[in-house]
């Protein structure tokens, strides 16, 4: 996933009301940028941190900038939760994920479950459909360990129940964790933050749901799929 325009550097002043952030650009101007991230952003919203914004191409948009990257301990981290689906979709189409090759058709946001939409539905004539749910990951509290979630996610737990139902019906169901950072070597569930999600994932795995985790190469020009991370579940 390449950014359509060069990113604009600045310093984070504050994040507030979940979806807003005040950023001081390098020239001294202070702007309000959209923060496309509903989570707690634990460890990723420290005032004074170096950040990068994308400019909007829509002249009618109220907020002219979106917060995309933050530098933490010398590493870039992607904070925009609207990108993971696109990153994974591009990787699937390029057959860059060995576990998800061999499908001829890919559809986005297909209705399923209980008033839900699956992120990606992969289909082929010679195999069951694959229901692929993508979750953004950027929490890191311990050395080289990525974690999910960074706050309680009832919606995420609901998705696990629905994926379990698809697996039990004979379809393939995959929970894909995309780590928008490159400084992690393994992945775990943050059970202390959301024990209900941890229990739901264990139940889903027992019902045949698969779990995959990949890290990203994060740069100021693009965010791209990098390598698989082992899951300690």
The domain of 21 spans: 8-78
Question: The domain spanning residue 123 has which CATH number?
Answer: 3.40.1350.60
Neighbours of 157 (CB within 10 A): 19
pLDDT digits (tens, 9 = 90+) for 25-79: 999 999 999 999 999 999 999 999 999 999 999 888 899 999 999 999 999 999 9
Answer whether residue 161 is part of any domain. yes
Answer whether residue 66 is part of any domain. yes
pLDDT at 31: 97
Q: Of 45, 78, 111, which one is at a domain's C-terminal end?
A: 78
Identify the sign of the CA torsion 93, 96, 97, 101. positive
With 90 as the cut, is the pLDDT of residue 128 above it? yes
pLDDT digits (tens, 9 = 90+) for 74-109: 999 999 999 999 999 999 999 999 999 999 999 999
pLDDT at 47: 97
What is the residue-averaged pLDDT of the chain? 96
| Distance (Å, whole) CA 11 – CA 23 | 6
Is 78 in contact with 86 (CB distance < 8 Å)?
Answer: no
Task: Tell me: do 14 and 92 sit in the same domain.
Answer: no
Is 194 in contact with 45 (CB distance < 8 Å)?
Answer: no
Strand partners, 107: 121
Average pLDDT score over residue span 186-213: 98
| Distance (Å, whole) CA 67 – CA 56 | 11
Q: Of 53, 78, 103, which one is at a domain's C-terminal end?
A: 78
Identify the sign of the CA torsion 161, 162, 168, 173. negative
- 79: phi then psi, degrees, rounded to nearest 5: -110, -5
Q: Of 59, 78, 97, which one is at a domain's C-terminal end?
A: 78
Strand, helix or coil for residue 100: helix
pLDDT at 233: 81
Task: Tell me: do 131 and 209 sit in the same domain.
Answer: yes
With 90 as the cut, is the pLDDT of residue 115 above it? no
pLDDT at 144: 94
Is 65 in contact with 54 (CB distance < 8 Å)?
Answer: yes
Identify the sign of the CA torsion 149, 153, 155, 161. positive
Task: Tell me: do 102 and 63 sit in the same domain.
Answer: no
pLDDT digits (tens, 9 = 90+) for 133-164: 999 999 999 889 999 999 999 999 999 999 99
Q: What's the number of domains the chain is made of?
A: 2
Is 224 in contact with 1 (CB distance < 8 Å)?
Answer: yes
| Distance (Å, whole) CA 29 – CA 104 | 49
Task: Tell me: do 99 and 120 sit in the same domain.
Answer: yes
pLDDT at 32: 98
Average pLDDT score over residue span 11-22: 96
| Distance (Å, whole) CA 130 – CA 167 | 9
């Amino acid at each position: 996933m390449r950014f359509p325009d060069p990113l604009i550097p600045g310093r984070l002043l504050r994040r507030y009301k979940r979806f807003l952030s005040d950023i001081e650009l390098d020239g001294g101007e202070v702007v309000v940028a959209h923060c496309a991230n509903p989570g707690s952003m634990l460890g990723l919203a420290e005032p004074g941190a170096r950040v990068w914004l994308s400019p909007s191409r829509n002249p009618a948009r109220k907020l002219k900038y979106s917060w995309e990257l933050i530098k933490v301990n010398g590493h870039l981290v992607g904070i925009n939760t609207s990108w993971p689906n696109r990153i994974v979709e591009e990787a699937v189409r390029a057959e860059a994920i060995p576990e998800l090759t061999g499908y001829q058709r890919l559809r986005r946001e297909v209705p399923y479950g209980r008033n839900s939409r699956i992120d990606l539905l992969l289909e082929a004539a010679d195999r069951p459909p694959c229901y692929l749910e993508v979750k953004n990951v950027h929490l890191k509290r311990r050395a080289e360990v990525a974690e999910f979630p960074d706050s309680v996610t009832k919606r995420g737990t609901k998705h696990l129940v629905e994926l379990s139902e698809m697996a039990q019906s004979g379809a393939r169901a995959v929970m894909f964790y995309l780590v928008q950072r490159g400084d992690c070597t393994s992945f775990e569930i943050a059970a202390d933050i959301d024990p209900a999600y941890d229990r739901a994932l264990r139940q889903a795995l027992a019902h045949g749901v698969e779990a995959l985790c990949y890290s990203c190469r994060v740069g100021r020009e693009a965010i791209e799929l990098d390598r698989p991370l082992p899951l300690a579940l």
